[in-house]
Amino acid sequence: MTNLHDTAPSADAAGTWRLGDLTVNRLGLGAMRLTGMPWDEKPKSRDGAIAVLRRAIELGVDHIDTASFYFTATRSANELISTALQPYPENLVITTKVGPGRDRDGEFAFARPDRLRGQVEENIRQLGLDHLDVVNLRWGAAMGKEPGSLAEHFGVLADLREAGLIRHLGVSNVGADQLTEAMAIAPVVCVQNRYGLTDRQDDALLALCAEHGIAFVPFFAVTTEVPGATPQTGDTVPGEAEVARVAAAHGATPAQIRLAWTLHRGEHVLAIPGTGDPAHLEENVAAGALRLGEDELALLDAVGT
């Protein structure tokens, strides 16, 4: 049985996966929370966010997920990454998303295909890069999935890949039909969808990704089950007793168990937990070393069915 206090945290403990020709540790970092969330009472500390990013690199994190639309009135995730980490480590893979953006009234709206090049170039400028490692087309403007063909939008990104502005492509917030449609246009290296212990609607899509060697990268794998962590969460925590039981056996936190369960879903599953707190960062990275037993996995699996 794994006890997290036995070893120092290292992002390579969960193993690696390939995003195209880029190898990353399966435990990465999501940058959205570096800026603070819209409902926070006050902005996150700029120095604290920079410290988290630099500490993540020290702990072996080599995969950071960000977007130009991750910003608040006083903070920008891309600017924080650029300030904290340039010159970038050679092995660092920065994944970005395009699609959503601000309209003239400051509200989020989904971009027309002819706006995607501008969004890609905006990410390149903000991050101080010559090209982007991985770009996900984040489909739709709503939190839930939206129907429709993504061919025109994804085709624009495929052209930008051919032009050298993008190295690899992914999709986000999609269904199986949309993933299949994208694969027919250009190689897809990752799918980034909402997924977690009790948010299991994409079990079949996760399996489809495994069949094609595509990374499945859940977002909100932990925070969807923390009351108040997102606008979508309520006051209850499904599976709280089961998670607490497993956590106690490993000397771990409930969040670490949820991350570990996510990573146990398949070798192609990556984790990108976000945080603006150095202590939480270390806890998240340490979760990659957790090895859950078959009985524990069966107990947790039953929570979401």
The C-alpha atoms of residue 7 and residue 289 are separated, in whole angstroms, by 9
Cβ proximity of 256 and 296 under 8 Å: no
Whether pTM > 0.85 for this model: the answer is yes
Choose, from 17, 69, 70, 216, the residue flagged as catalytic: 70
Name the nearest CA neighbour of 285 among 55, 88, 84: 55
Can 70 be counted among the known catalytic residues? yes
Q: What is the pLDDT of residue 106?
A: 65
- DSSP letter (8 states) at residue 32: G
Angle at 297 between CA 216 and CA 191, to 5 degrees: 5
Helix (H) or strand (E) holding 93: strand 93-98
- For residue 235, the model assigns a pLDDT of 55
Which tokens hold the place of 217?
């990268």
Q: Does the N-terminal peptide bond of residue 87 adopt cis geometry, omega within 30 degrees of 0? A: yes
Count of C-beta atoms within a 10 Å radius of residue 3: 12
pLDDT tens, N- to C-terminus, the chain (305 residues): 556 656 679 999 999 999 999 999 999 999 999 998 767 777 788 999 999 999 999 999 999 999 999 998 889 999 999 999 999 999 999 999 999 987 766 677 889 999 999 999 999 999 999 999 999 999 987 778 899 999 999 999 999 999 999 999 999 999 999 999 999 999 999 999 999 999 999 999 999 999 999 999 999 888 654 444 444 445 566 789 999 999 999 999 999 999 999 999 999 999 999 999 999 999 999 999 999 999 999 999 999 76
Going by C-alpha positions, the residue among 28, 79, 70, 89 that lies closest to residue 50 is 79
| Confidence at residue 56, expressed as pLDDT on a 0 to 100 scale | 98
Give the DSSP letter of residue 224.
G
CA atoms 99, 102, 108, 111: torsion sign: negative
Q: What is the pLDDT of residue 246?
A: 98
